[in-house]
Chains A and B, each alone.
Chain A
């Protein structure tokens, strides 16, 4: 087959893992794989740069969103290769690219005890994009997930960061009883406001412990 990203022919590598563990198939070549950078152990909440807790998260912990996230991490840096990937996946809508990180996500989340909750998309946005990009990452990795939240349309343009943080009801609870432990999953962690707002909404409904996982930390 050809690499999903660079289109080069990939010799079929029958490695022992795929033979014995029935792992997910690699859809990109080793060269493209190595262009992505894993994040080393960083901030205990978002996985960003910093020991113990990063400066972004420290600021959050002085706001009304303090303590809504108990722990978390991000898997990859937002380097040029990752920007290119996300562009092709989300904006060119090349849905098969959901499979690129399936092996990594499966490895990371297969023994997860908490219930996986993807950050939802707003209905209008979903129609425009034609596919829920966060869910598809989990689907590709054959990971189960449950929705407890819906998302209202947010117009970020023109609003200051403070205003955005103040928009309390970006996420709404869908009425399903929540579990004790939740793992919130998103594709890209930028300012942290999405995760914080979703976590706050879930905790308000009685979730005790929230871990977050982002594929990419910007």
Chain B
């Protein structure tokens, strides 16, 4: 029973898909230790992901319950939830004994990181929400270590949620190294199953659907990131996963105005940890680039840029607004260098290609916006083709620009926004970057 309690505490799970024998689950339900709820409520809302739009809650004639039934499309990849499926959660008082934790880290925080770190800790102590507003490369993760440790030592359950699997995979080994005695679970699509009661959970925001009333501290990394800022369901998932009134720490390089207004406590760090300013993007016109690619031609200015990087042997990233445009561009650019690679969100070899770029085995990578976060490639040069397209809002452009100059050995790096006419979001991104740099000179 102990392993069932550890597994189901704070979780909502499909009754028929637990890793335990059916009889044990049935028994725990009979004993009142596990409570049951219907997958889709009478109000036609998914009890797991809280989706309720009619486009996502689908009615069908169900051969299992022999009648009209509803299922949720939104969270279907976690196993389909329907009216006749049951969700279970541990509902009796916890018998889980507190773990002991240790903190193994011998890095140093800069004075700005140190201050922000203490401010976060204070907010957590006072149960206030907090925003860490820090530029790319400011060392956001490190400053969270001390507050996380303080929470763990108080016996609290902590969750670090990030919008994408890449970020979870990047954070996990770092946190596991720093908290070696803590049971940590990393959760993302198809992640391997881990046992025990995790005091620290690192999860994609999607995986939060499977939690309810679980965490004493929620840390939402890259709180502005697609899809988080667009997806109300994910926002609700954060609220559902935390315990009532548990504080949320938002971490972002590009927080929305709304988030800045909504959160009472804000720590700002506009300096990179190496103290150099952020590269300021340069605007370059690339008239009719979309038509050029469609006709099988690369605009001359882009050829010149790519050729120069190949010549100087500087690794480069070129961001494109659509997968279609990447597909049109890749054969053309491979004529300049056959090893240039393309990646997109569903590319299974994505990590491998980025690794090759980092190790200088290939000259450059064409990418959709998916690569805008979570990668550091020394001396990388960055171009955005079609920076005027709506998919590149100011936040995305700032993130993209932030790929350059991250390492202390190469604090500079070129960032070029190729466009078909300058739009407001481009201006906004540039102005914000200049203002961050102004802040760091103060």
When the two chains form their complex, are residues A96 and B58 in contact, meaning their CB atoms are under 8 A apart?
A: yes
- In the complex the two chains form, what is the Cα distance from A95 to B77 in whole Å? 13
- Does B71 belong to the interface (CB within 8 Å)? yes
Closest-by-CB residue of B relative to A1 is B55
A132 to B73 Cα, complex, angstroms: 18
Closest to B82 in A: A130
Task: Pick from A1, A2, A95, A129 the residue with the most CB of B within 10 Å.
Answer: A95
Tell me, in angstroms, the Cα distance from A133 to B432 when the chains sit together: 53
- Chain A residues positioned under 8 Å from B60 (CB to CB): 95, 130-131
Quick one: which of B54-69 are within 8 Å of A by CB? 55, 58, 60-64, 69
Please give, as numbers and ranges, the residues of chain A lying within 8 Å of B69 by CB-CB distance: 130
- What 0/1 readout, one digit per residue, does chain B (33-65) give for beta carbons within 8 Å of chain A? 000000000000000000000010010111110
Is A168's CB within 8 Å of the partner chain B? no
Across the interface, do A131 and B63 meet the contact criterion of CB distance under 8 Å? Answer: yes
Complex Cα spacing A128 to B82, Å: 13
Asked whether A31 and B324 contact (CB < 8 A) given A127-B64, A129-B63, the answer is yes
> How many residues in B have their beta carbons less than 8 Å from beta carbons of A?
16
Q: Is B294 an interface residue (CB 8 A)?
A: no
Q: How large is the interface on A (under 10, 10 to 19, 20 to 34, 35 or more residues)?
A: 10 to 19
Cβ of B323 < 8 Å from any Cβ of A?
yes
- The A-contacting residues of B in range 182-199, CB under 8 angstroms, are none
Q: Is A64 an interface residue (CB 8 A)?
A: no
Q: Which A residues between 70 and 101 are near B, CB-CB below 8 angstroms?
A: 88, 92-96
- Tell me, in angstroms, the Cα distance from A93 to B82 when the chains sit together: 10
Q: Which residues of B contact A128 (CB under 8 A)?
A: 64
A127 with B71: CB separation less than 8 A? no
Contact A131 B76 (CB under 8 A): no
Interface mask (B69-93 → A, CB under 8 Å = 1, otherwise 0): 1010100110010100000000000
Q: Is A10 interfacial (CB-CB < 8 Å)?
A: no
Q: How far apart are A126's CB and chain B's nearest CB, in angstroms?
A: 5
Query: Across the interface, which residues of B come within 8 angstroms of A88, CB to CB?
Result: 76
Also in contact, A93 and B323, with CB within 8 A (given A126-B63, A131-B63): no
Chain A CB count within 10 A is highest, among B55, B73, B82, for B73
Q: Shortest beta-carbon distance, A188 to chain B, in Å?
A: 20
Contact of B80 among A2, A92, A127 (CB under 8 A): A92
Is there contact, CB below 8 Å, between A31 and B323?
A: yes
Contacting residue for B64 out of A2, A31, A94, A130, CB 8 A? A130
Complex interface: chain B residues within 8 A of A127 (CB): 63-64
**In the complex, are the beta carbons of A96 and B324 less than 8 A apart?**
no
Q: Which residue of A lies closest to B84 (CB)?
A: A130
Say yes or no: A96-B73 contact (C-beta < 8 A), given A130-B62, A130-B63. yes
Are B80 and A93 in contact, CB atoms less than 8 angstroms apart? yes
Asked if A93 and B71 make an inter-chain contact with CB atoms under 8 angstroms apart, the answer reads yes
Give Cα A59–Cα B242 distance, bound, in whole angstroms: 62
Within the assembled complex, what's the spacing in Å between the Cα atoms of A131 and B73?
15
- Smallest beta-carbon distance B167→chain A, Å: 20
Partner among A1, A94, A126, A129 whose Cβ is within 8 Å of the Cβ of B73: A94
B327 to chain A, nearest CB (A): 9
Query: Which A residues are CB-close (under 8 A) to B323?
Result: 31
Residues of A within 8 A of B61 (CB): 131
Give bound CA distance, A31 to B328, whole Å.
13
- Given contacts A127-B63, A130-B63, A131-B63, A95 and B55 within 8 Å (CB-CB): no
User: In the assembled complex, how far is the CB of residue A207 from the closest CB belonging to chain B, in whole angstroms?
Assistant: 27
- Nearest-CB distance from A110 to chain B (Å)? 24
User: Quick one: which of B210-269 are within 8 Å of A by CB?
Assistant: none
Indicate whether A131 sits within 8 Å of B62 (C-beta atoms), given known contacts A31-B323, A95-B71.
Answer: yes
Q: Which residue of A lies closest to B60 (CB)?
A: A95
- Alpha-carbon distance A2/B61, docked complex (angstroms): 24
Chain A residues with CB under 8 Å of B71's CB are 93, 95
Given A1-B55, A31-B323, A31-B324, decide whether A94 and B62 contact each other with a Cβ distance below 8 A: no
* A88–B62 CA distance with the chains assembled, in angstroms: 17
Contact (A92, B76) CB under 8 Å given A31-B323, A31-B324, A130-B82: yes
| Chain A residues close to B by CB (< 8 Å) | 1-2, 31, 88, 92-96, 126-132
A–B complex contacts, Cβ < 8 Å, 5 sampled: A31-B323, A94-B80, A95-B58, A128-B64, A130-B60
Q: A2-B55, A130-B69 are in contact. List 18 more A-B contacts (CB 8 A).
A: A31-B323, A31-B324, A88-B76, A92-B76, A92-B77, A93-B71, A93-B80, A94-B76, A94-B80, A96-B73, A126-B63, A127-B63, A129-B63, A130-B60, A130-B63, A131-B62, A131-B63, A132-B63
Contacts from B to A (Cβ < 8 Å): 55, 58, 60-64, 69, 71, 73, 76-77, 80, 82, 323-324
| Pairs A-B, 8 closest by C-beta atoms | A130-B64, A126-B63, A95-B60, A93-B80, A130-B62, A92-B76, A130-B63, A127-B64
